[in-house]
Amino acid sequence: MTVPDTVPNWELTLSVSTAARTHELAAALASVLDAGDLLVLTGELGAGKTTFTQGLGEGLGVRSGIISPTFVLVRIHPNLPDGPRPGGPDLVHVDAYRLGSASEIDDIDLENTMDSAVTVVEWGRGRVEHLSESRLEIDLHRAIGLPATQPDGGATTSEPEVLDFDTDDNDDEPRTIVMRGFGPRWASRPVLAGIVEGTA
């Protein structure tokens, strides 16, 4: 069992304007991922965790059809020989929402695929850090609850705050994505093609 680092080596905060940009950011990140990498995704319902994972899958060149693994816990998406990274890692997509502890994570035997796949765990914070000495934590935050803005960028107080319980990714809703690198694999921040700090 690995004792996880609790202090990140680096942190990168990005603002994305659409779900498509979230997808593109993840595809760019996929280009620097290797078998054995562990990503821990955190964010409220509808924050874009599955959209992010779909972008990773596209960038890794795995079989399409990535959906949230909520009811099956784990989905394995094999690398495609005719994809952009033939011979690259598979993608293991985990939903840990219903798992209450690290021991329940151990029961699904992720250790068997860690060396040959990129493992993405939604709702994994506090549950999967022991699986690897290094990890990327990715927090996705929706803009819901932020003050409404006028076209000139100024805040307006004339509109009441509206709670949005729609859990589908909203293409027009901006998000903030915070990435943190832990452990020796992520000693320095990766360079992501076409991504400038602060925006994506």
Q: Which residue has the higher pLDDT, 80 or 164?
A: 80
**pLDDT (mean) for 11-38:** 95
Residue 42: closest CA among 188, 142, 155? 142
The encoded tokens of residue 57 equal 């899958």
State the Cα–Cα distance between residues 183 and 128, nearest whole angstrom: 14
How much of the chain exceeds pLDDT 70, in percent?
80
What is the per-residue pLDDT for 90?
A: 96
**Other residues' Cβ atoms within 10 Å of the Cβ of residue 94:** 27
How much of the chain exceeds pLDDT 90, in percent?
54
Say yes or no to pLDDT of 62 above 80.
Answer: yes
Say yes or no to pLDDT of 134 above 90.
Answer: yes
Confidence of residue 2 (pLDDT cuts 50, 70, 90): low
Listing DSSP states for 119-180 in one string gives EEEET-TTTSGGG-S-EEEEEEEE-TTSPPB-TTS-B--SSPP------SPPTT--EEEEEE
pLDDT single digits (tens) 82-129? 988 899 999 999 988 888 777 888 888 888 899 999 999 999 999 999
Quote the pTM value. 0.81
What is the per-residue pLDDT for 71?
A: 73
State the Cα–Cα distance between residues 146 and 131, nearest whole angstrom: 35
What is the per-residue pLDDT for 149?
A: 35
